[in-house]
Amino acid sequence: MARLAPTRSQGRIEAGLASINGNLARRVKSGKMTEAEREATLSLIKPVASYEGFGDFDLVIESAVEDEQIKRKIYQTLCPHLKPECLVGSNTSSISITRLAASTDRPEKFMGIHFMNPVPVMELVELIRGIATEEQTFSTAKEFALSLKKTIAVASASSSTSSSFEATCVASAAISSVPPAMAKMPLRW
């Protein structure tokens, strides 16, 4: 089940749901999904009015704008409502996972789970461990990504920005946007 986070505007929730519905409708039209699958997917999305609505989840992935202070505020407000064993992920591609994890009450249960855009098209998910990320947290995130039929790229906490760049190059090579020989060239910083 997926839940849309609280927002100050009901209009934003409605716009988000409309966007998801439109994306799913395109998948139906292209034959990648049946109408029944679209309806079943939509039935799993539940908007909530407060962070208390996330209390029964095993995994929560934040996907807010790339602003560290906003993300930290979300975690500080969200985490008290989560069960102790809940894992927290961030979809960030450029902010330190270790720093974000430090703003939670569970740095060992926190990691980066970065979905490449557009998510329905791109098969790559970058998994980024923080310094405190436990092996079980990583294993669970990996199982989750694989259950979505995604390809996994693993990055370290110290290199999330460059790893995202490298992962994007790998993804580009996978869809033949760049010649495979170029994708194998060493990156120089």
Evaluate whether 62 touches 75 at the Cβ level (below 8 Å).
yes
pLDDT at 7: 61
State the catalytic residue, choosing from 38, 106, 109, 114.
114
d(CA 152, CA 168): 12
**pLDDT reading at 16 higher than 60:** yes
Asked about 81 being catalytic, the answer comes back as no
pLDDT tens readout for residues 78-133: 999 999 999 999 999 899 999 999 999 999 999 999 999 988 889 999 999 999 99
pLDDT at 156: 75
- pTM here? 0.76
Closest CA relative to residue 89, chosen from 105, 73, 70, 75: 75
